[in-house]
Structure 1
Amino acid sequence: MKTIDLTNGKIINSLVKLSLPIIITNFIQTAYGMIDMIWIGRLGSDSVAAIGTASFFINLALAIFTLVLIGTGVKLSHAIGKDDSESKSFYINNSIVLTLIIGIAYTIFLCIFKKSLIGFYDLNNQYVVNMAENYLVLSSLGIIFMFFNSLFTTILNSYGNSKIPFRANTIGFIFNMVLDPILIFGAGNFKGLGVSGAAIATLIARIVVLLVFVFISYKNIKNIFKDFKLDLKRAFEVIKMGMPITLQRVTFILISMVIAKIVANFGATAIAVQKVGVQIESISYITIGGLQGAIAAYVGQNYGAKKFDRIKEGYFKGLIMTIAFGSLVSFIFILFPEPIFKIFLNSNEALTMGSSYMKILGISQVFMCMELFTVGAFNGIGKTFIPPIISVIFSALRIPFAIILSKSYLFGIDGIWLSISISSIFKGVILVIWFMFNFKKLKKEVQ
């Protein structure tokens, strides 16, 4: 498999060249949900609330799968930096087996416990409950494909090849964009399937993406299975490396679910607003997610090559880019909340609630971007246990703060958004400072 050397050359060029395809790829993957939301929003807040409720468990699947993705990405990039062909092959082989096991197990889990999972939210609206359960089951069928698409993306990014994931996901996005309105609203004699149609469109798109990955990477895949061996020791290394980030992301999703239950007390419109707000916020996630992936691969290769000054310079240059972008997003969210939110929901209640959401969350966008970028840097040097400490502590504090601040005599539902924004500010500042102090010890630890 072709490797792009990130240990030499101009740093900014390397980061931008690697991150842009990742950003576009992340945007395309996120756009599945965004396109669904735009179309489903035309069915009303109840339909958006149904998708929002079920989507937490799909997001939980991705959080759990971080167990494979993070460890594989870190170990593979280190092996690439050392030019260790045997290790590269083993890490890829093990990731494929682990993907199959986790994907199948989680799909079965969702199908069996769908009623209990959706029932957690006490929606008190059987129509919304039924839609949420149907959407959850149909979406669960696409989890294994979603996992493999993410795995291929991680492997190729570790090699510095972010163009293939971009092409594959672009094709899938086009399928999803075309199928969504047809399967949701119908065409000709076909009446449409509503919320279920959105899930089926996404399922088909994910299958298409995987087929494209297999087609484009056929020679490499064939060579991998030709000499396939399962190395339990390396599999454990991958799991151990990914465990802290996985626990962080799973905990974050569980905390988000509790927050969503608090939001549910304000009605279906509030749930819909939160779901749409998260989709809009994904603009920050996907962009900095690209820089996060780039800095992780960049730091990983340079760490393997022991080029520590290059790691330091790359981190600070990337951080400046991150702050500039985050500030721009904050500015847009605060000044233009209603026109952006109106793309998804049109009711007066939703627009009023959504505008407040965006203004309050806009304050913390730059800090959230700093956090996500720095997580990538920590992952690159293999210290995956540090970011979860900060994330879990301050994300967990959102629950008591949300309960207190959302009291009617304080801020109402705006108090929930405040609890999220304040915690993001603390996470961003503390994590950047921690990385700066930690970097000073890096050379001594490996010498």
Structure 2
Amino acid sequence: MKNYFSTLLNDPEIKSSLRISLPLVFVELVNSLYSLADTFFVKDLGSEALAAVGIAGYLLMLLQVFFTLFQTPLLILVSQSIGAGYRDKTRLITGEILVEGSICVIFLSIIFYIVAPLFITIQSGVAGLAFQYTLDYLRIRVAWFIIFFVSASFDTVFIASGRSDISLISNTIGLVSNIILDPVMIYGLAGLPRLGVAGAAWASVIASFLVIPVQLYYLGKLQLLPMRPAIFILPRKIIDLGLPAFIERGVISLGNNIYAGIISRLGNTVMAAHNIGLRIESIIYMPGFAFAMTASTIVGRHVGEGDFKRAKRIGEKVIYMGASLMGLLGAVVALSSYYITTPFAPTSEIRELASLYLILAGFSEFGLGLAMVSSGAIRGAGNTRVPFITNTVSLLLFRVIPSLILVKSLGVLGPWIAMFIEVYARGIMAYTIFKRYFNRLARRLIS
């Protein structure tokens, strides 16, 4: 076993994959802390402020789904262009997608700014002070949403170029800036006016803005500063690559909301246990997202080179690593579920239910890893339609419909069993398609 791991870690292709994926694991952690910062610092303003930040957070996540329209094509086209050795073309691609994406984001921000009160009412039904706090926070973030889009796009370029270490640096700077600015702007420290919940929104905006000069500096060092295109030549490719990924995110979000709705109807105790389990499980997702992005980057680079055989070989290695790591972490969580849930569960019934959820979820993580990383590898090969179809069909056919049926006889155990089956079905489908049909699916999009 020792010789096996020694050989594995000395594999140059494994090493190159880990150089990308390991910083991305920490990027995911930083992003999780980023989202928690505002929540932590507004807690002393009262329950209305806490609720407002939470409600606005859900609506902002919904709005960020639109980023997928542009960042998925950006990741694929930049990785393939760098693989092909076309650095100037990479700069033109980045410039064009930035311009077209920014126009759409500004237009979307204006609409969302106007209809924000309606969205808040539909999503949460809150009124009074909580409604006003939510509206203030949301409108500030939405008004400057272009900053978040530009920063996220530069981050995608770093990842696509294999420099996830720079992504970690820039995200960490953003997190530290946000942590410093939050108390200053919320509570009016250092002679500044006390802005309350609005201060948390302004802190996030300013922190993201401060990251952009750092990103531009590193893009300059990498000779990847965006170039303004004379003519737009990519709209068709952007739609071809981005639209399936965008619809996939939307359908999965809808399906997961239906799934959560089935569980919530079983009572507050069941839903509390489910949410505790989900929050703990979310830690295991981080390596999955990291290895999925790594697979997209490395496979895309070698497809851009025209070396489909190497793209498939390294893609398989990344899939094995990502799925195995998630499976290992999942097993640890499953076996220690009773102890992990204890600090979060206010009653023994909630603890037992949350523990049961984590046992099923933990032992399903290997299948989820297969699904996430295989889909990432297929996207990197230039095909976003297949992951859209497999992930959507799997979610509806193996999770949502069985949950509706099984919940009647098994209670909450029914949807949880459906979840377990669905992630393995999705993982096996995605990996089988990658393994058997890679050469048919792969497309060299750069010429």
TM-score calculated relative to the size of structure 2 = 0.81
Alignment match, 2:298: 298
1:344-372 deviation per Cα after TM superposition (whole angstroms, max 9, x unaligned) = x5643865664444334223222111111
Alpha-carbon distance in structure 2 between the residues aligned to 1:370 and 1:229: 38
Q: Tell me whether 134-143 or 36-45 shows the greater mean CA deviation.
A: 36-45
Alpha-carbon distance in structure 2 between the residues aligned to 1:191 and 1:272: 38
Distance 1:353 1:174, change over 3 A: farther
Alpha-carbon distance in structure 2 between the residues aligned to 1:269 and 1:41: 24
Alignment match, 2:7: none
Is the contact between residue 296 and residue 378 of structure 1 (CA under 8 Å) also seen in structure 2?
yes
Q: Which amino acid aligns with 1:67?
A: L
Q: Which amino acid aligns with 2:310?
A: R
1:152-172 deviation per Cα after TM superposition (whole angstroms, max 9, x unaligned) = 111122222222211111111
Alignment match, 1:247: 247
Alpha-carbon distance in structure 2 between the residues aligned to 1:323 and 1:223: 35
Is the contact between residue 137 and residue 197 of structure 2 (CA under 8 Å) also seen in structure 1?
yes
Alignment match, 1:94: 96
User: What stretches of structure 1 of length at least 5 have no aligned partner?
Assistant: 1-8
Is the contact between residue 405 and residue 415 of structure 1 (CA under 8 Å) also seen in structure 2?
yes
Alignment match, 1:234: 234
Give the Å deviation of 1:330. 1.3
Q: Which amino acid aligns with 2:423?
A: S
Distance 1:124 1:304, change over 3 A: closer
Alpha-carbon distance in structure 2 between the residues aligned to 1:101 and 1:444: 28
Q: Tell me whether 264-273 or 381-390 shows the greater mean CA deviation.
A: 264-273
Alignment match, 1:72: 74
Alpha-carbon distance in structure 2 between the residues aligned to 1:179 and 1:354: 36
Give the Å deviation of 1:432. 0.7
Is the contact between residue 381 and residue 442 of structure 2 (CA under 8 Å) also seen in structure 1?
no
Q: Tell me whether 392-401 or 421-430 shows the greater mean CA deviation.
A: 392-401
Alignment match, 1:431: 430
Q: Tell me whether 231-240 or 274-283 shows the greater mean CA deviation.
A: 274-283
Secondary structure of the residue aligned to 2:77 is: helix
Q: Percent identity?
A: 25
Q: Tell me whether 142-151 or 195-204 shows the greater mean CA deviation.
A: 195-204
Is the contact between residue 288 and residue 322 of structure 1 (CA under 8 Å) also seen in structure 2?
yes
Q: Which amino acid aligns with 1:334?
A: A
Q: Tell me whether 208-217 or 33-42 shows the greater mean CA deviation.
A: 33-42
Q: Which amino acid aligns with 1:100?
A: S
Secondary structure of the residue aligned to 2:166 is: helix
Distance 1:17 1:106, change over 3 A: same
Alignment match, 1:16: 18
Is the contact between residue 93 and residue 230 of structure 1 (CA under 8 Å) also seen in structure 2?
no
Distance 1:385 1:182, change over 3 A: same
1:95-144 deviation per Cα after TM superposition (whole angstroms, max 9, x unaligned) = 11123123223322332222332333465786765555454334434532
Alignment match, 1:148: 150
Give the Å deviation of 1:341. 5.0
Report which structure shows greater RCO (CA 8 Å, sep ≥6). Answer: 1
Give the Å deviation of 1:282. 3.3
Secondary structure of the residue aligned to 1:232 is: coil
Alpha-carbon distance in structure 1 between the residues aligned to 2:411 and 2:371: 27
Q: Tell me whether 396-405 or 108-117 shows the greater mean CA deviation.
A: 396-405
1:308-363 deviation per Cα after TM superposition (whole angstroms, max 9, x unaligned) = 332232122222212321112212332334654566x5643865664444334223
For residues 122-141 of structure 1, the aligned pairs below 5 Å read: 132-141=134-143
Give the Å deviation of 1:249. 0.9
Q: Tell me whether 429-438 or 308-317 shows the greater mean CA deviation.
A: 308-317
Q: Tell me whether 366-375 or 316-325 shows the greater mean CA deviation.
A: 316-325
Alpha-carbon distance in structure 1 between the residues aligned to 2:325 and 2:282: 13
Give the Å deviation of 1:250. 1.8
Alpha-carbon distance in structure 1 between the residues aligned to 2:275 and 2:197: 15
Alignment match, 2:323: 323
Alpha-carbon distance in structure 2 between the residues aligned to 1:29 and 1:94: 27
Distance 1:80 1:191, change over 3 A: closer
1:215-242 deviation per Cα after TM superposition (whole angstroms, max 9, x unaligned) = 44357799645xx225332232123122
Secondary structure of the residue aligned to 1:233 is: coil
Secondary structure of the residue aligned to 2:163 is: coil
Alignment match, 2:286: 286
Alignment match, 1:6: none
Is the contact between residue 326 and residue 365 of structure 1 (CA under 8 Å) also seen in structure 2?
yes
Give the Å deviation of 1:173. 1.4
- What's the Cα RMSD here? 3.9
Secondary structure of the residue aligned to 1:217 is: helix
Alpha-carbon distance in structure 2 between the residues aligned to 1:304 and 1:209: 30
Q: Tell me whether 143-152 or 66-75 shows the greater mean CA deviation.
A: 143-152
Give the Å deviation of 1:86. 4.4
Q: Which amino acid aligns with 1:165?
A: S
1:250-272 deviation per Cα after TM superposition (whole angstroms, max 9, x unaligned) = 22123334445555556778777
Is the contact between residue 183 and residue 198 of structure 1 (CA under 8 Å) also seen in structure 2?
yes
Alignment match, 2:314: 314
Q: Tell me whether 26-35 or 93-102 shows the greater mean CA deviation.
A: 26-35
Give the Å deviation of 1:145. 2.5
Is the contact between residue 93 and residue 229 of structure 1 (CA under 8 Å) also seen in structure 2?
yes
Alpha-carbon distance in structure 2 between the residues aligned to 1:181 and 1:347: 30
Alignment match, 2:117: 115
Distance 1:197 1:396, change over 3 A: farther
Alpha-carbon distance in structure 2 between the residues aligned to 1:55 and 1:93: 29
Distance 1:442 1:216, change over 3 A: closer
Is the contact between residue 72 and residue 155 of structure 1 (CA under 8 Å) also seen in structure 2?
yes
